């Protein structure tokens, strides 16, 4: 697989910065995971930025198949400008409104390893710096901060582990051998910190109690066969959590913290909120050989 981005590079200069015309407050994503055709339902709550003159909403997208766009539950007019989705007739005023976008993508054909892709039968994401636009149409820029709710649905035999940012609030069975997991991240984040992993993974787990008395679950996920190389990673994770609280007064702010170690990652590591993804060569080690 190639990790190089295709096509010309757009130069973005700091002195040209302008605040977005819209803010996205909440994002509710539902994924029906399939290597050939993953369905993504994106429900967002938006509001106009009162400090910016009224203008069209321009959402970034790349290699997406657009199926439906709804504003406050009703159809709306839109147009495409290159790979941007442009909506002009949006509700006026300062009141928030709901935008629903339904798209499909083909993770198994995503050879850029940006956005949502499949490698060796496992789903991964890499959204830094502009990969989220390959998942859904969005204001793909770091100054747009939103809270995320993510529901993952997939074949349970092929993808028994379904991970995303935040806290696991619900999971269960679905018809036809499928299952789901619902994750809620209570902390606002830019979309480049979004993460998703689904596949056949095993985990080393450790429960810890913070100085403030909070209970947390730490997990290091790997492919079967790599479990003997996870002790160092877990010890390092525990030490870092203890250090943050002791040195900076910052206790872990989620119920769990997860690391996924995989050789199918095109960077050294990505510090997604609550779900770090590492290349195996930077995190896995066996004391007998390393």
| β-sheet bridge partners, residue 181 | 152, 171
214 phi and psi, to 5 degrees?
-70, 145
Task: Quote the pTM value.
Answer: 0.94
Class of domain 23-199: mainly beta
Dihedral sign from CA coordinates of 18, 150, 98, 68: positive
Residue 265 has a pLDDT of 83
85 phi and psi, to 5 degrees?
-90, 125
Residue 280 has a pLDDT of 92
> Given pLDDT bands bounded at 50, 70 and 90, which one contains residue 3?
very low
> Given pLDDT bands bounded at 50, 70 and 90, which one contains residue 25?
very high
**b/e 15-27 (16+ beta carbons within 10 angstroms → b):** eeeeeebbbbeeb
Fold of the 202-282 domain: Zincin-like (3.30.2010)
pLDDT in tens, 134-186: 999 999 999 999 999 999 999 999 999 999 999 999 999 999 999 999 999 99
| Dihedral angle of Cα 35, 228, 181, 64, to the nearest 10 degrees | -30
User: 217 vs 200, 210, 241, CA distance in Å?
Assistant: 20, 11, 11
pLDDT in tens, 256-279: 999 999 888 878 899 999 999 999
CB 153 within 8 A of CB 160: no
Would you kindly state where each structural domain of the chain is located, as residue ranges?
23-199, 202-282
């Amino acid at each position: 697989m190639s990790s190089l981005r295709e096509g010309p590079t757009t130069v973005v200069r700091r002195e040209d910065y302008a605040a977005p015309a819209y803010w996205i407050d909440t994002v509710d994503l539902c994924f029906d995971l399939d290597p050939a055709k993953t369905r993504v339902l994106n429900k967002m709550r938006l509001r106009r930025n009162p400090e910016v003159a009224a203008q069209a909403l321009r959402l970034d997208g790349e290699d997406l198949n657009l199926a439906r766009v709804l504003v406050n539950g009703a159809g709306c007019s839109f147009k495409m400008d290159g790979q941007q989705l442009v909506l002009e007739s949006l509700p006026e005023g300062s009141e928030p409104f709901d935008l629903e976008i339904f798209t499909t993508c083909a993770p198994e054909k995503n050879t850029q390893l940006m956005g949502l892709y499949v490698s060796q039968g496992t789903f991964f994401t890499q959204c830094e710096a502009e990969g989220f636009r390959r998942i859904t149409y969005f204001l793909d820029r770091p100054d747009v901060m939103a809270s995320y709710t993510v529901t993952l649905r997939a074949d349970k035999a092929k993808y028994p582990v379904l991970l995303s940012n935040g806290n696991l609030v619900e999971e269960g069975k679905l018809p036809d051998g499928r299952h789901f997991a619902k994750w809620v991240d209570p902390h606002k984040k830019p979309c480049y910190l979004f993460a998703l992993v689904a596949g056949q993974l095993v985990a080393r787990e450790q429960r810890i109690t913070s100085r403030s008395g909070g209970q947390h679950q730490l997990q290091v996920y790997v492919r079967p066969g790599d479990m003997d190389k996870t002790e160092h990673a877990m010890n390092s994770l525990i030490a870092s959590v203890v250090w943050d609280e002791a040195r900076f007064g910052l206790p872990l702010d989620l119920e769990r913290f997860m690391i996924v170690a995989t050789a199918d990652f095109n960077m050294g590591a990505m510090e997604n909120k609550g779900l770090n993804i590492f290349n195996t060569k930077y995190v896995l080690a066996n004391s007998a050989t390393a």
